[in-house]
């Protein structure tokens, strides 16, 4: 009100500036306004162009994009997913672009079953020194079916195959997957015996964990496909020595058994060989025996007619022939002629055991 009053008061004051001057100044003002208005118009058009141009976006080969118009997905289901290439949407706040990695394999690890380890220790491969017991919340472990404590950790590799569910279904899908992996490790360990997890059925355990995670992912509709799951299990560090000893004892047991089996092979093989030698020898002896008899029989049949002509002569001839043959082979031949009185010469022999060597112990007359 005060302002108006003042204005009212000032109105009747006489004009100070001349008319012509006013015209020129207003013209200049109008000119200035017009040109500045043109600039403003240009700027506005440019702004609109930039505004619309900012709606272009690029989708990489390993991702998909979803456009949210006023917050709502444009398109339904798979149709909402935009593939790689250049796309356009209304700029914010009308549209919003959400990009989701898809073909890329993602990985997540579960360490609820692992002891506390610093990254340095893990890199160097040195296990932290074991304490006498395991502290809950610090040292993770799982309990096996036969109530043994072991450490186990898993890494899960998965691929997002329902990106809409993956992004809009969960505040943190990766956390949920990790929980599922934790649960799978725990649950699977509760079904396996310690020796199976560590030595006997390592692959089976890993497979069971993977199966369980896959099942949970399906049940919870996480929108992922499990590609692979690798599990590593070790006995508690506190008991490493005894576990190693069991392994050594088992290896030794195998060695002892292997030795026994090789002995078995050797023994049976050599027995087989001996047996076949014995049988072959018997066969050839039989053949020889039979053949020689047959030969004898043949000779007999051949000799028989000669013999029957004059048995005495035949005998004499044969005997002399044999004696001749025999005498050529005999080492010592001693002829004892009959004495004049017809008595044979008396001969005394000292018989010794045959000494080694080619000599024969024989005494002369």
Partner 1 sequence: MKRNLITLITGAVLIVIFVLLLFTFQVRQSEVAVVTTFGRITGPPCEPGLHLRWPWPVQQVYKFDERIQNFQEKFRETLTADQISLITSIYVGWKISDPSAFLNSFKDGSVIAAQSQLESLLASDNITVVGKHPLADFVNVDPQQLQFDQIQMEMEQMVQGELQTNNYGIQIEFLGIQQLGLPESVTQAVFDRMKSERNILISRAQNEGQAEAIKIRANADRQANETLADAQAEATRIEGEGVAEAAKTLPVFQENPELANFLLSIDAIKQALNQRSTLFFDDRIPPFDLFHGTLTNPPSH
Q: Binding-site residue total for partner 1 (CB under 8 A)?
A: 129
With a CB cutoff of 8 Å and minimum separation 6, the contacts of 342 are none
Site for partner 1 in 238-277 (CB under 8 A): 238-239, 242-243, 245-246, 249-250, 252-254, 256-257, 259-261, 263-265, 267-268, 270-272, 274-276
Site for partner 1 in 8-67 (CB under 8 A): 37, 41, 44, 66
Tokens encoding 143: 């309990």
Site for partner 1 in 85-124 (CB under 8 A): 93, 96, 112
- Span between the terminal Cα atoms of the chain, in Å: 185
Question: Quick check: 181 and 154 in contact, CB under 8 A?
Answer: yes
- In eight-state DSSP terms, residue 226 is E
Closest approach of partner 1 to the CB of residue 43, in Å = 12
User: For partner 1, which is the closer residue by CB, 182 or 206?
Assistant: 182
Closest approach of partner 1 to the CB of residue 365, in Å = 9
Residue 76 in contact with partner 1, rule: CB under 8 A: no
The contact mask relative to partner 1 for 122-161 (x = CB under 8 A, - = no) is ----------xxxxxx--xxxxxxxxxx------------
Residue 182 in contact with partner 1, rule: CB under 8 A: yes
**Block residue for tokens 């289901």:** 77
Question: Quick check: 149 and 233 in contact, CB under 8 A?
Answer: no
The distance from CA 46 to its chain's CA centroid, rounded to whole angstroms, is 62
The residue range among 13-21, 68-76, 81-89, 224-232 that interacts with partner 1, by the rule CB under 8 A, is 68-76
Among positions 39, 45, 282, 313, the unique one binding partner 1 when judged by CB under 8 A: 282
Among positions 155, 159, 179, 230, the unique one binding partner 1 when judged by CB under 8 A: 179
Closest approach of partner 1 to the CB of residue 251, in Å = 9
User: For partner 1, which is the closer residue by CB, 61 or 320?
Assistant: 320
Residue 330 in contact with partner 1, rule: CB under 8 A: yes
Element holding 338 (H helix, E strand): none
Question: Quick check: 152 and 235 in contact, CB under 8 A?
Answer: no
Among positions 42, 51, 56, 70, the unique one binding partner 1 when judged by CB under 8 A: 70
Q: Is 316 helix (H, G, I), strand (E, B) or coil?
A: helix
Question: Quick check: 164 and 223 in contact, CB under 8 A?
Answer: yes
- Please give the angle made by the CA atoms of 17, 20 and 22, to the nearest 5 degrees: 55
Residue 213 in contact with partner 1, rule: CB under 8 A: no
Closest approach of partner 1 to the CB of residue 324, in Å = 7
Angle subtended by helix axes 240-309 and 311-329, to nearest 10:
140
With a CB cutoff of 8 Å and minimum separation 6, the contacts of 160 are 100, 101, 102, 106, 166, 223, 224
The residue range among 11-19, 50-58, 226-234, 287-295 that interacts with partner 1, by the rule CB under 8 A, is 287-295
CA distance 116 to 222: 29
Among positions 79, 172, 352, 356, the unique one binding partner 1 when judged by CB under 8 A: 172
């Amino acid at each position: 009100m005060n302002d108006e009053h003042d204005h009212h008061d000032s109105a009747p004051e006489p004009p100070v500036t001349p008319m012509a001057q006013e015209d020129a100044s207003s013209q200049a003002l109008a000119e200035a306004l017009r040109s500045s208005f043109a600039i403003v118009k240009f700027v506005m058009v440019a702004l609109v162009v930039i505004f619309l141009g900012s709606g272009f976006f690029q989708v990489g080969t390993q991702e998909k994009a979803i456009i949210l118009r006023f917050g709502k997905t444009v398109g339904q289901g798979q149709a909402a997913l935009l593939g790689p290439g250049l796309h356009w949407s209304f700029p914010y706040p009308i549209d919003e672009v959400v990009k989701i990695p898809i073909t890329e394999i993602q990985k997540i690890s579960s360490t609820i079953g692992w002891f506390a380890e610093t990254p340095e220790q893990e890199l160097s491969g040195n296990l932290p020194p074991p304490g006498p017991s395991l502290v809950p919340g610090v040292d993770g472990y799982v309990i096996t079916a036969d109530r043994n404590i072991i450490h186990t950790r898993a890494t899960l590799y998965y691929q997002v195959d329902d990106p809409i569910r993956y992004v809009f279904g969960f505040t943190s899908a990766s956390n949920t997957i990790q929980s599922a992996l934790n649960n799978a490790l725990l649950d699977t360990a509760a079904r396996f015996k310690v020796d199976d997890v560590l030595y006997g059925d390592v692959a089976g355990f890993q497979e069971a964990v993977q199966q369980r995670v896959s099942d949970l992912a399906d049940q919870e509709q996480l929108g992922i496909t499990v590609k692979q799951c690798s599990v590593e299990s070790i006995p508690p560090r506190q008991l490493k020595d005894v576990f190693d000893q069991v392994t050594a004892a088992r290896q030794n047991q195998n060695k002892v058994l292997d030795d026994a089996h090789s002995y078995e092979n050797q023994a049976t093989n050599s027995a087989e060989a001996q047996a076949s030698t014995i049988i072959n020898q018997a066969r050839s002896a039989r053949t020889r025996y039979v053949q020689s008899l047959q030969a004898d029989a043949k000779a007999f049949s051949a000799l028989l007619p000669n013999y029957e002509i004059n048995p005495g002569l035949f005998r004499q001839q044969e005997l002399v022939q044999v004696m001749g043959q025999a005498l050529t082979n005999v080492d010592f031949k001693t002829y004892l002629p009959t004495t004049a009185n017809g008595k044979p010469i008396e001969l005394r022999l000292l018989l010794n055991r045959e000494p080694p060597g080619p000599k024969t112990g024989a005494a002369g007359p």
